[in-house]
Each structure stands twice: as C-alpha cells, then as structure tokens.
Amino acid sequence: MNAYRDQYAQLFKDGHNIVLIAISADPDTALFTWARDAQYPFLFAQDTGLAVGKAYGALAKYPGLTNRNLFVVGPDGRIAYRATPFREIDPTAYTELATTLAKVTPADTTAH
C-alpha cells in the first residue's frame, strides 16, 4: 500500500479519471486508522464477509485470508488487467500497471 501511496500521483494521475479502491477483509475501524496514519490518498472498503474476495478469486488457502491481487476495471466495466498475485516488490509490476492505466483512462485534456 505504501508503494501505491508513494506512486499515486504518477500511476493514478492523482485520482483524475481513476478511482483506486483497496478492499480488505479487515474491519472498517482498523482500515480507517491504518489509512489515516499512513496518509493513503485513496479509498478503502471492507469485505469482512469475503464476498468480493470470492467473486474475484482472491481467497487464500487459509480461511479468512485473501491474496494480494490487483484488478484494473476499465470504463466499460470489464477487467482490463489482472495481477494474481500482485508482485508488489517487483518494480516491473508497477510498469505493467502504469501501461495498462494509460491504455484504459482518457487522456488529460486540461491545459496546464
């Protein structure tokens, strides 16, 4: 999550035309404290019932745990990129993610 935070402006265009939602099986109180303390600039959602984890095939071998997966859902609602598991310590994983995000998000036409 720190890598997402640290690369948020570059990878996720500071949230312009991209919504990043981290989904966790942890309770919302733990997520809120963690997100606030680490100053994450994106949204968190809880999945304590593991419905989202089941739907996306993110359940781990151990009950109640999920794998760290990453999905990019395009504007058409289809999965444009899937990393199962996401290789968070591999720098090339972020290059692949950036390439996908550039393909599925509209270009910024705002003059600077």
Which range of residues forms the domain containing residue 7? Answer: 2-102
Half-sphere exposure of 102 (CA within 13 A, CB side): 8
Is residue 107 in a domain? no
Residue 31: CB atoms within 10 Å: 19
Q: What is the pLDDT of residue 63?
A: 75
Cα–Cα distance between 107 and 58 in angstroms, integer? 31
13 occurs within a structural domain: yes
Q: pLDDT tens digits, the chain, 112 residues: what are they?
A: 888 889 888 888 888 888 888 888 888 888 888 889 999 888 888 888 889 888 888 887 777 677 788 888 888 888 888 888 888 888 888 899 889 888 888 766 555 5
Domain assignment present for 111: no
CATH number at residue 45: 3.40.30.10
Q: For residue 65, is it within any domain?
A: yes
* pLDDT on residue 12: 85
The count of domains in the chain is 1
